[in-house]
Amino acid sequence: MVYLQHPNCGCSQRSNLMRAVVQRVSRAKVSVDGEVAGEIGVGLLVLLGVRRTDREADAAYLAEKVSGLRIFEDERGKMNRSVQDAGGSVLAVSQFTLYGDVRHGKRPSFDEAAPPEQARRLYEFFVERLKANGLRCETGRFQEMMRVELVNEGPVTIMLDSAKEF
């Protein structure tokens, strides 16, 4: 694992930064060429971005965080229940565009995104960890043009990363 010096505070931070955008949904599905590849009812849609420096530990951390994320309402209307507590499922979709960098222009650079072989391996590891945590997990199709449909409840959208920056 590589640590970098943060330019603004002098503190150290990990260079690994697997990203996930997590949305609480009443339903979601992903289709490829008009065919449904994965579909869930109540649960979480997770868009997962893998960086070239990411390792299995990053995927394991995010899978654990997603599994236990308490963003479903309890009987008092408080966000206090996990997806498993709510009887929900996960739809996990690989999305390298989470590493689109537009700091130096208007056309995104994807240089920080992991190469396909590495991204696929870590995405599949993430999905397997979710399943090992007892969650039903549907997926999109890796490296395919996908159509993702969802109904975001709340709306509730949470951004996670394995370096705990947000």
**Alpha-carbon distances of 88 from 27, 65, 91, 95, 151, rounded to whole Å:** 10, 15, 10, 22, 14
106-138 in b/e burial notation, b at 16+ Cβ within 10 A? Answer: eeeeeebbbeeebbeebbebbbebbeebebebb
Q: Does residue 110 have an active-site annotation?
A: no
Q: Does residue 157 have an active-site annotation?
A: no
**Catalytic residue chosen out of the listed positions 97, 142, 143, 157:** 97
**Catalytic residue chosen out of the listed positions 23, 72, 95, 126:** 95
Q: What is the CA radius of gyration of the chain?
A: 16
Q: Does residue 125 have an active-site annotation?
A: no
Amino acid at 22: V
Q: How many Å apart are CA 138 and CA 157, to the nearest integer?
A: 19
**Catalytic residue chosen out of the listed positions 23, 72, 96, 126:** 96
Catalytic residues: 95-97
